[in-house]
């Protein structure tokens, strides 16, 4: 009798199981549980801390040079060599590899290749990229394989020339999405509504378009999948800005300086009801005639990662130029006012943002910014990425340097990447379906 506390494995195992059962019973009453960022426990599941097995203990004992990843560590950061005007690709790669949920997916080796030939699979290459970028290797990585694969699978992008980062992003997401399903040549009509690949789970949002007939006030609604939101900027000849920027109360904590347009302003403009004019009459289903109408865009379903694209490159008949107007964007963004469900209050002309919304579902945090310096014809892309929650780094091809939040928020902004703060997970049934898909 040593009179000490003892720990018996078998009993602990039994206790764990019972505990799990108990939690399940507790949680079965609610269908949705919201949890903190980066942790997605299943309903009623308690994730225990990792405990080593005997062989692991032995192994670890033999290797005393253990390091614990601290937030001051470089692990997770790595430069990318410019292969010849490929800075646009490097920035997107940095943004994608620092997307928390995507990082978790790839680093936990969740990709199962469906492609007929794995060496052509872009998702496998992404997986390999994650491994490279998180290896802790200080020497920059050469993403030549990625370039090759992208050129093979997205022919319109192939060629040695400067390209648009946004275009690359969309093409890359498209190829990744196809390859997740093993669709090599894009033959199958990809129906995003029924796809459960990781790309769709993360990036696909639903853009709702409501067309209201002015005569009978009947509304026709369509919802389209979207991977990003492209926003017109003030000063472009195709846009028109009815509201003076910055007038409304500082909705998202953006720096409220009169005269400076904010991301929220752009979003408001994007989701405003637009009168379509007499030259664009729509055939109304109920009136059975052509009537004038108003159209409004709102978000029906918010993606986990929202990408905002400022339309800085103007290719109109009149001119081709880059709009360099500074747009202020916030570190945290609440998308509630731009949802379809908030339309009522919008119709009344107010931009309602309950200060104490209690509903954190629509809150986003900025984690990557892609910037462009230069002119329409020739320029250079750099990116800021967020690492370890509060540290920001500037990625300029092969050179990574520390940056301040101020640097990030003061930058011009071309592509903004926001990540949902709270990941809601779906009910048990749907979850099962999604895990089976891959």
Residues found near other proteins in the complex (CB under 8 A): 4-7, 51-52, 57, 60-61, 64-70, 72-75, 77, 79, 81-86, 117, 119-120, 136, 138-140, 142, 144-145, 147-148, 151-152, 158-160, 391, 393, 398-402
Of 140 and 234, which CB lies nearer to other proteins in the complex structure? 140
Of 67 and 247, which CB lies nearer to other proteins in the complex structure? 67
Instruction: Extract the tokens encoding 417.
Output: 């990447």
**Separation between Cα atoms, residue 289 and residue 218, nearest integer Å:** 12
Nearest to 101 by CA among 226, 199, 242, 212: 199
Note whether 383 and 94 are within 8 A (CB).
yes
Least distance to other proteins, CB of residue 68, Å: 5
Least distance to other proteins, CB of residue 124, Å: 14
**Separation between Cα atoms, residue 99 and residue 202, nearest integer Å:** 10
Task: For CA atoms 208, 211, 217, 218, give the dihedral sign.
Answer: negative
Note whether 282 and 290 are within 8 A (CB).
yes
Instruction: Extract the tokens encoding 139.
Output: 């020497």
Count Cβ atoms within 10 A of the Cβ of residue 121 and give its class: 0-12 exposed, 13-18 middle, 19 or more buried.
buried
Of 38 and 144, which CB lies nearer to other proteins in the complex structure? 144
Give me the DSSP letters along 314-372: EE-SS-EEE----EE--SEEE-GGGBGGGHHHHHTT-----TT---GGGEEEEEEEEEE
Rg for the chain, CA atoms, rounded? 24
Least distance to other proteins, CB of residue 84, Å: 3
Of 74 and 238, which CB lies nearer to other proteins in the complex structure? 74
Least distance to other proteins, CB of residue 77, Å: 6
**Separation between Cα atoms, residue 180 and residue 187, nearest integer Å:** 14
For residues 219, 224, 228, 231, the Cα torsion angle rounded to the nearest 10 degrees is -30
Least distance to other proteins, CB of residue 73, Å: 5
**Separation between Cα atoms, residue 174 and residue 179, nearest integer Å:** 9
Phi and psi at 366, nearest 5°, equal -70, 135
Note whether 346 and 337 are within 8 A (CB).
yes
Catalytic residue numbers, as ranges: 87, 380
Of 310 and 393, which CB lies nearer to other proteins in the complex structure? 393
Least distance to other proteins, CB of residue 342, Å: 41
Instruction: Extract the tokens encoding 61.
Output: 């004992």
Note whether 343 and 277 are within 8 A (CB).
no
Count Cβ atoms within 10 A of the Cβ of residue 172 and give its class: 0-12 exposed, 13-18 middle, 19 or more buried.
buried
Of 70 and 189, which CB lies nearer to other proteins in the complex structure? 70
Of 159 and 349, which CB lies nearer to other proteins in the complex structure? 159
Least distance to other proteins, CB of residue 396, Å: 9
Least distance to other proteins, CB of residue 145, Å: 6
Count Cβ atoms within 10 A of the Cβ of residue 27 and give its class: 0-12 exposed, 13-18 middle, 19 or more buried.
middle
Of 61 and 258, which CB lies nearer to other proteins in the complex structure? 61
Instruction: Extract the tokens encoding 48.
Output: 């225990």
């Amino acid at each position: 009798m040593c009179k000490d506390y003892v720990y018996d494995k078998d009993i602990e195992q039994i206790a764990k199981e019972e505990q799990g059962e108990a939690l399940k019973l507790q949680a079965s009453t609610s269908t949705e549980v919201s949890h903190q960022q980066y942790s997605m426990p299943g309903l009623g599941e308690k994730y225990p801390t990792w405990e080593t097995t005997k062989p692991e203990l032995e192994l670890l004992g033999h290797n005393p040079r253990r390091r614990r990843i601290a937030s001051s560590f470089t692990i997770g950061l790595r430069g990318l060599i410019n292969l010849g005007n490929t800075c646009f690709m490097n920035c997107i790669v940095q943004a994608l590899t620092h997307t928390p949920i995507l990082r978790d997916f790839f680093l936990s080796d969740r990709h199962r290749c469906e492609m007929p030939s794995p060496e052509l699979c872009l998702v496998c290459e992404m997986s390999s990229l994650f491994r490279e970028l998180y290896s802790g290797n200080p020497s920059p990585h050469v993403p030549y394989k990625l370039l090759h694969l992208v050129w093979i699978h997205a022919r319109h992008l192939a060629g040695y020339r400067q390209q648009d980062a946004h275009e690359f992003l969309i093409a890359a997401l498209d190829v990744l999405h196809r390859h997740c399903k093993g669709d090599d040549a894009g033959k199958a009509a990809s129906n995003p509504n029924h796809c459960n690949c990781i790309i769709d789970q993360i990036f696909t949002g639903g853009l709702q378009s409501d067309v209201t007939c002015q005569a009978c006030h009947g509304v026709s609604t369509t919802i389209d999948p979207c991977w990003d939101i492209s926003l017109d900027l003030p000063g472009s000849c195709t846009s028109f800005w009815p509201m003076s920027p910055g007038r409304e109360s500082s909705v998202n904590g953006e720096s409220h300086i009169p005269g400076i347009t904010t991301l929220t302003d752009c979003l408001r403009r994007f989701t405003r009801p637009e009168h379509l004019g007499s030259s664009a009459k729509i055939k109304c289903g109920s009136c059975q005639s052509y009537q004038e109408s108003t159209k409004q865009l709102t978000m029906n379903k918010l993606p986990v990662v929202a990408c905002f694209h400022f339309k800085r490159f103007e290719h109109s008949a009149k001119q081709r130029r880059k709009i360099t107007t500074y747009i202020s964007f916030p570190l945290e963004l609440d998308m509630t006012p731009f949802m379809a469900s908030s339309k009522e209050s919008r119709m009344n002309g107010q931009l309602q943002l309950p200060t104490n919304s209690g509903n954190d579902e629509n809150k986003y945090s900025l984690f990557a910014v892609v910037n462009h310096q230069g002119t329409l014809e020739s320029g250079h892309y750099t990116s800021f990425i967020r690492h370890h929650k509060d540290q920001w780094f500037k990625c300029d091809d092969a050179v990574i340097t520390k940056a301040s939040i101020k640097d990030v928020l003061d930058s011009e902004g071309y592509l903004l990447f926001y990540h949902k703060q709270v990941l809601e997970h779906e009910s048990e049934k749907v979850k099962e379906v999604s895990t089976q898909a891959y």
